[in-house]
Structure formats: C-alpha cells, structure tokens
Amino acid sequence: MTAKGRINLTTSKMQLDLFGKEDQESLHALNRTKSSVKTKELESIKAKKGFSLLRNVQFIYELALAKKELLSFGLDFHVTNDFRIFEVTSPRESDVLRRRLAYFESTNGVITDYYYIIKYNQTTSVNQYLMHWVYPYKGKFHPQMIRALLNIMQIKEGETVLDPFVGSGTAALECQLLGINFIGVDISPLCYLLSRVKTESMEVISEIEKNKKDILTDSRRIEKIKNEKVKNFFTIAQMVAHSDSSRRGRNFTFSFNTNVEKMIQSLRDYIEVKKKLGLNLGKTKILKGDIRNLSLDTESIDGIITSPPYSIALNYVANDAHSLQALGYDSRKISDDFIGVRGTGLDKFKLYDNDMEIAYKQMYSALKKGKYCTVIIGNVTFQGEEIDTTQIAIDTCVKIGFKLVSKIEKIIFGLYNVMQKEYILIFKKD
C-alpha cells in the first residue's frame, strides 16, 4: 500500500464519530437546505467510471466491508486509484446496486441511493442523517456499517431481521430504509421508546405538527395526548432535552424546543427521501422485553444483527439514569434486570457469560438454517487485565451450533481506557 493510500484508510482524524457526535447547532441551522446537492458535484460523480467509494470512507474495516458488499452481490473486481475506485469486471443489475450499496457514492456513473440519503442530515455529524441523530445513546451502531452488513448477510427486501438488543434503533431504521422487515427487542424502556419514535413517527407527522404549538407552550400537555405515537415523539424530545441539560448544561426549555423543531424537520426529510427515491419501507415491530425469556417462533428469522451489552464497559442504566428517572423508573431497581449490569466484581462476568449463552441459544433457535447472525462485540479491561469477551462469545456461539465465517477488527472511539476496538463476528447457522 502506498503512503498516499494510507492517508485515506488510517485513523488520523475522528471524522467518523462512531458513537454519535454532540450536535452544536442552534435553531437557525434548521433553515439550511441539507438535502441539496450541487450540480457540479453530481456531474463530477456521474463522470466517474467504476464503483467509487464515498468520501467519508477512511478506515481499514470499512474497506473490508466495501469489498464484502460487492462479493455478496457476486461481483468480480479489482481496486484502483489508491483504494478509491473498484473496477468491476462482472456486470450486475445496476438498479439493485444503486438501491442497496452502503460504501459507494456511484456505480459506473449511477449515483447510489445512500449518497442522497446521507445528505438529509440535520446535524454536523457524519452518518447521523434522518432520525439517526435523535438521542446521544452511548455505544450506538454506525448506520453505514449496518447497511453494509445487511448486504453482506444477503438479506432481501421483505425478509425479517432480528436485533435482540435494539438499543437506539439504528438497525431498525436501516432495515426500514431497505424495505426489510424488522423485530427489535430491548429491556430498556428508553430504548423501546426511542426505537419506536425513529421508525413510527413519520406515520403521524401531521398530528405531531398540529400539537407542536401547544406542547412548546406547555410541555405538561404531552400526558394528555391520546395518540401513542405522537405522545412518544414528544416524550423522546423531552428525554433528549434531559440529556442535553444533564450532560452539557444546556437550558432544558431551549433544548426541548430546539429538538422538537429539529426532529420534525428530520421527519420531513424522511418523507422527502421516501418519495424522491421511491422507497418501499420495511415493517418494524419494537418489543419491550428480555431476549432471555422471549418467545420467538423457531426458525422464523432471516438474519440477526446485534451488539450485545458490553459487560462492564458500559453501565447502560447509569448512563441514561436522568432519562429513565424522567420516564418514572427507579434506575437502582431495574439494574438487576440488565445483562452486564447486575452483579459485582468477577461475579458480574459470570452472570454476563451465563446470560449471553441463554441469549445466543434463543437467537440460534429463531434463525433459519443457512442464514447469518452478526454480532459486534469487544473486549474489556477489568482491574488492569483484558477480558477476552470476544473469544468467549465465539466459543459460546460455536458450542451452540453456529459456524464463524468472518471476524473483522474495527477501531472505535469514545470508550478509551475501557475499550479501543471491537470485532464484527459473522456466524452462519448451517
């Protein structure tokens, strides 16, 4: 690899904030036209031959996923122009590639849907487009990576994907965009609400806008809203404001008003994207529950993609205590139910391993034969010693019956001194 090539693929700058970058914009930023694409830029892209990588692709793992994306569509290729252009030697229906690809801006001059989608971004953070930015959830997925993994797993439109630890709903939104049906499960009441708001609010935007003036005048009126989806929207806007106030010291009322406006604009963006690209959105079902005892039909799922709780690396209850308390929950009481949070010292690891084995068994049972399960997980450090959580996960899944088909190392940011990298593990149920 040339020195010039390395510039594009190293971690010299955190231009991709994998855990969500704090949004520093004010209300005036809402008036910007985020979705506009300059004519000169479009003409430049259309003139390119081969499959051109998006400019935000910088990391080694992204290049690996980009290659796997093309291979999943049965394409033969070789890489040119310092790893920025893929010359494809085997033709394939361009419409499918245009609609699906995650790491490419164009395919032989045909601009991808994803290139347009990421322009609808109400924040300054890369990959926080549409509703992905809502709520600064720690340890959240990188949406571009999820889109690529869905392709690599060969999930087709109309099939069903399960995320048993749905978190902030990133996989839910990406599946919806690709026309993939989705079932998300989470024990956290905050995650349950957040994932629903990101995927359901577009259905009730007219009613949200109708209620906006009254709610901004007096947020206590939220409790009187009868439509659950509308009520959930404004409730999550409150949770974002609680987070802004707790973590950043912002004025709660100003933050609430700002976020309501910005969330509504994001919904408008979503509607425009759907219309402009002719998207057939997937159906989503978000369940508040525990994968350890959830009843799922045997071999009913076409793919699983998830990031299990990172053992002691993140205390999800403590991290979102301000929002959970605002929702009326006692964070001390619900901690006993959370995987990776309950227990102390070394017992916490034993409980975590036992809980995860039960979860993996549930996932294996629900997955159809011949289908894929992707787990994103990392090691943690405890009392100065690294715990190989990744290998434990591999050993457990293999013992259950999964076959490991790919392991990709991925550098991460935001959890230094606890975790600096994670692994994308792709298993297959033979």
Helical H segments across 135-251, by residue range: 143-152, 170-177, 189-200, 205-217, 228-248
Contact 140, 20 (CB under 8 A): yes
> How many other C-beta atoms are found inside a 10 Å radius of the C-beta of residue 104?
26
Per the DSSP assignment, residues forming a β-bridge with 287 are 185
Query: 106-119, pLDDT tens digit by residue?
Result: 998 899 999 999 99
Q: In what helix (H) or strand (E) does residue 197 lie, and over which residues does it extend?
A: helix 189-200
E strands in 247-345: 284-288, 301-306
Per the DSSP assignment, residues forming a β-bridge with 87 are 78
Predicted TM-score of the model (pTM):
0.86
Distance of CA 332 to the CA centre of its chain: 27
The architecture in CATH of the region 170-195+282-316+330-429 reads: 3-Layer(aba) Sandwich (3.40)
Please give the single-letter amino acid code of residue 236: I
> How many other C-beta atoms are found inside a 10 Å radius of the C-beta of residue 316?
26
pLDDT of 335 = 64
3-state secondary structure 88-153: ECCCCCHHHHHHHCCCEEEECCEECHHHHHCCCCCCCCCCCCCCCCCCCCCCCCCHHHHHHHHHHC
Contact 261, 27 (CB under 8 A): yes
Q: Where are the domains of the chain?
A: 170-195+282-316+330-429
Point out the residues of the chain with pLDDT beneath 70: 1-38, 92-93, 138-139, 310-326, 328-336, 340-341, 344, 412-420
Please give the single-letter amino acid code of residue 309: P
pLDDT of 6 = 28
End-to-end CA distance of the chain: 37
Per the DSSP assignment, residues forming a β-bridge with 110 are 107
Query: 297-354, pLDDT tens digit by residue?
Result: 999 999 999 999 865 555 555 566 666 666 766 666 666 677 766 776 777 788 889 9
CA gap 55, 295 in Å, rounded? 43
Residues 6+ apart with CB under 8 A from 368: 299, 300, 301, 302, 429
Distances from the Cα of 65 to the Cαs of 162, 393, 410, in angstroms?
Answer: 21, 21, 11
CA gap 74, 80 in Å, rounded? 19
| DSSP notation for 354-407 | HHHHHHHHHHHHHEEEEEEEEEEE--EEETTEEE-HHHHHHHHHHHHTEEEEEE
User: SS3 for 284?
Assistant: strand
Reading the block at residue 157, the tokens are 């439109």
pLDDT of 327 = 74
pLDDT of 424 = 96
Distance of CA 37 to the CA centre of its chain: 24
- Percent of the chain past pLDDT 90, that is, above it, reads 59
pLDDT of 349 = 82
